[in-house]
Chains A and B, each alone.
Chain A
């Protein structure tokens, strides 16, 4: 293949990967953040302790995290059809990607929130702050550097998952590498695809690290 043949393919598939990752990151954050908060606040000694709810949430998260992504992707096909209306294409991959990454992100959120000192929460209680105020004005802001770092790790995981999502017709760089690079022995394209992926991951990680560092105030 010549460069002129490869360039549009690369461009199109990079764009597809970007779309899959951006949309699934958005939904992962929307789903995973409340889930992580819920895991913390329902825990023993939390702001809204509920042992039963905590165990149920933990079970859901653990199931989500223990399923290999490729299995999860197939298992949720009926659910995907219900939500998106189709099971192929870039939009359809957002559902399994979100379901795969949200539990993972939720655990990272939980870990970050757990590191917020109990004395800060107690101080807010002593000021007469309500429990929702404590979540919104103490727990989340104080955990922000950790949350950003956790989201960065999640985005990188999503980039890797999105390559697999190509297998169900999602397109993207992973799909390109398999269809052209592997099945048609286009080694050059394969190498370029991998390089593009490495560059994307590097960019995401650097951006995440920078933001997290700026938020970190000791």
Chain B
């Protein structure tokens, strides 16, 4: 649905060159929620703004819903953007307009007729649960309500794709969860493809099907959540399940979906090894139970025990 190929973005400022995004490839499949995780300054915001060409990439191509945006002229690009929704960190609502007026704005841009506009606005406000606030002004709303208006506005053009620029970063934890739940619902009910950027692991954990980790303008790892967790040395796994520092010889096992089986006690019994659990974390990620355990194993059949764990489909990593 979204294909970014060889994207580079270089800013020139008084003769100095700053590379914000360095050769990034990104593939977001139809109907998935894809999260780009990174610290501020990692280039994720620039990357997102390159997807609807708010920033023109220095190099590379961007294709959204089969249309190569980087090849379009200004008028065509404007029309293409009407089919790409965007949600902003600080909501970016117009304070001179009511809630209904804000949601109607993109429809006015598209040239939708007055009656159709009114019908659509009512429908969209109902979708985000704000039907009773149509006549309110943004200043009278809470942060969570403002972002709901932002989401309703982003959906006005029936977009196939929604871009979310830190949509929950300005919200408190409870409100964040309700906005994330709304995004997930829209993803499922409307088949909406969502590309979001965030610095909060919680966002990725709660709603993303796939993720990429970005650092210094590059993508460090990218894939579906189970793929990333199953990858040795995964930064996503390390950040999702923080464990105490390891000593040489310590074993870290990562499991996705096998949380129900009593693997540790079975291994201890079968191979006659002593197992000391140093730390562990279990989370529900992308709809499946996943977790990591840090173990210290001792016994004569230690090597056989590790092989057995790997054969059970667990990712086994030994610290050096």
List residues of A whose CB falls within 8 A of some B CB: 117, 119-120, 122-130, 133, 137-138, 141-142, 144, 215, 217-218
Contact = CB atoms under 8 A, between A and B. Distances in A.
B29 to A, nearest CB: 22
A120 B146 CA distance: 14
Contact of A141 (B94, B139, B140, B157): B94
B109 A138 contact: no
B96 interface: yes
A133 B153 CA distance: 17
B108 interface: yes
Given A141-B97, A218-B137, A128 B86 contact: no
A137 B105 contact: yes
Given A119-B88, A128-B79, A137-B105, A218 B138 contact: yes
B303 interface: no
B82 to A, nearest CB: 4
B120 interface: no
Contacts of A127: 81-82, 86, 105-106, 109, 153, 157
Given A133-B109, A215-B96, A217-B95, A126 B86 contact: yes
Contacts of B81: 125-128
Interface residues of B, number: 31
B78 A123 contact: no
A137 B102 CA distance: 11
A142 B106 CA distance: 16
Contacts of A215: 96
A120 B94 contact: yes
Given A119-B89, A129-B109, 10 more contacts: A119-B90, A122-B92, A123-B88, A126-B86, A127-B82, A128-B106, A130-B109, A137-B105, A142-B95, A218-B140
B33 interface: no
B46 interface: no
Contacts of A218: 95, 137-140
B86 A217 contact: no
B181 interface: no
A128 B96 contact: no
A138 B95 CA distance: 10
Contacts of B80: 128
Given A127-B109, A141-B96, A141-B97, A217 B137 contact: yes
A122 B97 contact: no
B264 to A, nearest CB: 50
A141 B153 CA distance: 18
A82 B18 CA distance: 55
A193 B109 CA distance: 52
A126 B54 contact: yes
A128 B86 CA distance: 11
A144 B96 CA distance: 8
B96 A117 contact: no
B277 interface: no
B52 interface: yes
Interface string B94-121: 1111000000011011100000000000
Nearest to B106: A127
A130 B78 contact: yes
Contacts of A130: 78, 109
A48 B80 CA distance: 21
Given A128-B81, A217-B139, A218-B139, A123 B92 contact: yes
A71 to B, nearest CB: 40
Nearest to A217: B137
Contact of B138 (A138, A141, A217): A217
Contacts of A141: 94, 96-97
Contacts of B105: 124, 127, 137
B82 A128 contact: yes
9 contacts: A117-B92, A119-B89, A124-B105, A126-B52, A126-B81, A127-B82, A215-B96, A217-B138, A218-B140
